[in-house]
Chains A and B, each alone.
Chain A
Amino acid sequence: MVIEFLPFALVVFTLVGAFIMPFFARWFTRGCIPLTLGVLGLDIFMAATLLAGVMSRGPAAYYIGGWAAPWGIEVRGDGIAAIMVLLISFIMFCTVVYGASSIDRELPEGRGGWYCSLLLLISAGMMGLVVSGDLFNMYVMIEVVSLSSVALVLAKGGREVLPAALKYLLLATIGSGFILFGIGFIYILTGHLNIGFAAAELMASGGDYPYLSWVALTFLVIGLGVKAGLFPLHFWLPDAHSTAASTSSAVLSGLVVKVYAVVVMRLFFQLYSSELLLATDIDRILLVMSIAAILAGSLFALIQKDLKRLLAYSTVAQIGYIFLGISVFSIMGLEGAIFHIIAHALMKSMLFLAAGSLILRAGSRQIEDLQGLGRAMPFTAGIFSLGAFSMIGLPLLAGFISKYLLALAGWDSGNYLVLPLMVISGLLNAAYYLPVIRVLFWRGEEEIPPGGELEIGRVLALGALAVGLLVMGVIPEAGRNFIQLAASWLWG
């Protein structure tokens, strides 16, 4: 009984937190960060309860207001929703713990409280998006997420964020326009907005109007591709993710783009079934797009001189991995994609947060200006190197396991290209991450005085993310049961 209610409760609770935050920001500024941490801490607790309940008792559905499915709004608490909700609240919690010391330094005076409100709003939006079982509700949550991510980019202030944020807003709007149009086509075809009912109707009459269902699919994939930054549609991503404050970048790059990938999974395997999809060529199109994303993202990252832009282009490449897992069209591929969503969320937010510390210390985003900082800030630089090694795919780290799972899934379904692709992309990742690490630990002439890095919040946040990464890498079996179950439920 309680388990069904939890996904809805999580979203509403976080949303309430976001809306009372402005009062704190106005009259009780010092209470903002503890309140945010309290809300997110309770979210982690509820999400963990949800995950445990769902895994032992199977997927749960809750209907808002007690109206049953075709009329009421369905909230789904299935495996992928539970995993994503836990991941979102954990990463947000770590980001806020880290931000407790850096928000005041990176943002203009007096914006800390409003920033906390935005962080809670975007977590509520992302949670609402992954638990939503209703197409229009999904659209509304997509808009909540994209508007608050634009605001997160803007929060840093200063003039360089403005064009990046506007570009992001315009492209996000085009993306949501395509998504809404696609939802309209689905509504014409099936007469339902609930995913389960629409799926049943599509199965029953899918062959009657093949063109219309393909058009709907095209619109949805283009819209979500723009939002997720899938390769040819990625051009807003590097600007937005690199100019934002480092806590914003960690959230945007670690979580926001992934949530759209989860929506793609839901639409592919719960709305359209794999038989309907295989009648189209969407799997091959996505495969080509994701291979292009992996190669092009890495090649662009190779020529960047700005550390945050390098990380942003690396995100473009990593989104390719996730879509590669989806495009393989098998349970194993989905498993790899979900594993990579988790692994990449951990390592990319870790990299962005560590890079934020380094950049604050150096006062510049250029990689060459970070020379020798590793000796002054050994902990932060060490965490950065750990994240980079995981990106490259060294064994015992989560990045290796997800590459392994994806290669296995590709081999299993006859896409023999995937294995060499993983090796090549690992080498490319090494080619752009290793020079950064070398610069960090370079022994130059000038001595940088040590100290000034070990603030308790930063150490705890980066340490928690690093522990998560190591646990995922060393004992992947602990989480893989959950992921396998979630993938098989998603497959249907």
Chain B
Amino acid sequence: MEFSFFVANYPYIFSMLLFSLGWLIIFTQANLIKKVIGINIMESGIFLFFLAVGDIAGGNPPIYVEGVEQVYVNPLPSALILTGIVVSFSITALALSIIIKIYQSYRTIYMPELLRIME
């Protein structure tokens, strides 16, 4: 594979990296807050991917102007991502509120300690 392949496809490669990094963080970090950060990194990877899909080189924002011929970027992926952001926001809110409850009842947010207390 040539270097130009990576240059041309860098948004896809980075989105894949972010996505994988995100779920690796969720699986490997012991701190529950860091797991939530992992969720957000993972979702950012997906959002970046969708934005890259919709992008057209030299495209303008998709706002229609009377009588002007221009190239627009594809607005659909951005619209989808808006929904995705709302979903990821509510997941983060729910996860953080569960973590607050966990801290109140177990006095820890570290997974190994939590597992030890639960035994």
- Point out residues on A near B: beta carbons under 8 Å: 136, 140, 143, 147, 150-151, 154, 159-160, 162-163, 165-166, 169-170, 173-174, 176-177, 180-181, 184, 187-188, 193
Contact B91 A173 (CB under 8 A): yes
Give B95's nearest chain A residue, CB to CB. A169
Instruction: Count A-B pairs with CB separation below 8 Å.
Output: 67
Most chain B CB inside 10 Å of its own CB: which residue of A151, A170, A181: A170
Q: How far is the CB of A266 from the nearest CB of chain B, in Å?
A: 19
Q: Once bound together, how far apart are the Cα atoms of A169 and B22, in whole Å? A: 15
Check if B17 is an interface residue, CB within 8 A of chain A.
no
Contact A170 B95 (CB under 8 A): yes
Q: Which chain B positions have C-beta within 8 A of A166?
A: 32, 95, 98-99, 102
**Size class of the contact patch on chain B:** 20 to 34
Q: How far is the CB of B49 from the nearest CB of chain A, in Å?
A: 5
Q: Which chain B positions have C-beta within 8 A of A169?
A: 91, 94-95, 98
Q: Which chain A positions have C-beta within 8 A of B50?
A: 184
Contact A184 B42 (CB under 8 A): no
Check if B114 is an interface residue, CB within 8 A of chain A.
yes
Q: List 5 A-B contacts (CB under 8 A).
A: A136-B80, A150-B94, A165-B98, A174-B26, A177-B23
Sample of 6 more A-B contacts, CB < 8 Å, known A181-B49, A184-B49: A150-B94, A162-B105, A165-B98, A173-B42, A187-B53, A187-B77
Give B118's nearest chain A residue, CB to CB. A163
Contact A140 B32 (CB under 8 A): no
Enumerate B29-76 residues with CB–CB distance to A below 8 Å.
32, 35, 39, 42-43, 46, 49-50, 53, 76
Q: Which chain B positions have C-beta within 8 A of A165?
A: 98
Q: Once bound together, how far apart are the Cα atoms of A48 and B99, in whole Å? A: 42
Q: Once bound together, how far apart are the Cα atoms of A170 and B36, in whole Å? A: 8
- Point out residues on B near A: beta carbons under 8 Å: 19, 22-23, 26, 32, 35, 39, 42-43, 46, 49-50, 53, 76-77, 80, 83-84, 87, 90-91, 94-95, 98-99, 101-102, 105-106, 114, 118
**Interface residue from B23, B26, B53, B101 paired with A184 (Cβ < 8 Å):** B53
Q: Which chain B positions have C-beta within 8 A of A170?
A: 26, 35, 39, 95
Q: Once bound together, how far apart are the Cα atoms of A160 and B119, in whole Å? A: 11
Give B23's nearest chain A residue, CB to CB. A174
Q: Once bound together, how far apart are the Cα atoms of A173 and B46, in whole Å? A: 12
Q: A159-B106, A163-B114 are in contact. Are A180 and B46 (CB under 8 A)?
A: yes
Q: Once bound together, how far apart are the Cα atoms of A180 and B102, in whole Å? A: 29
Q: A162-B102, A166-B32, A184-B49 are in contact. Are A177 and B91 (CB under 8 A)?
A: no
Q: Which chain A positions have C-beta within 8 A of B83?
A: 136, 140
Q: Once bound together, how far apart are the Cα atoms of A163 and B35, in whole Å? A: 13
Q: Once bound together, how far apart are the Cα atoms of A489 and B98, in whole Å? A: 43
Contact B77 A180 (CB under 8 A): no
Q: Which chain B positions have C-beta within 8 A of A159?
A: 102, 105-106
Most chain A CB inside 10 Å of its own CB: which residue of B77, B94, B114: B94
Q: Which chain B positions have C-beta within 8 A of A151?
A: 94
Most chain B CB inside 10 Å of its own CB: which residue of A159, A163, A173, A193: A173
Q: Once bound together, how far apart are the Cα atoms of A40 and B87, in whole Å? A: 27
Q: Which chain B positions have C-beta within 8 A of A143?
A: 87, 91
Contact B94 A147 (CB under 8 A): yes
Q: Once bound together, how far apart are the Cα atoms of A216 and B80, in whole Å? A: 18
Q: Once bound together, how far apart are the Cα atoms of A180 and B101, in whole Å? A: 29
Most chain A CB inside 10 Å of its own CB: which residue of B50, B76, B80: B80
Q: Which chain B positions have C-beta within 8 A of A187?
A: 53, 77
Give A172's nearest chain B residue, CB to CB. B91
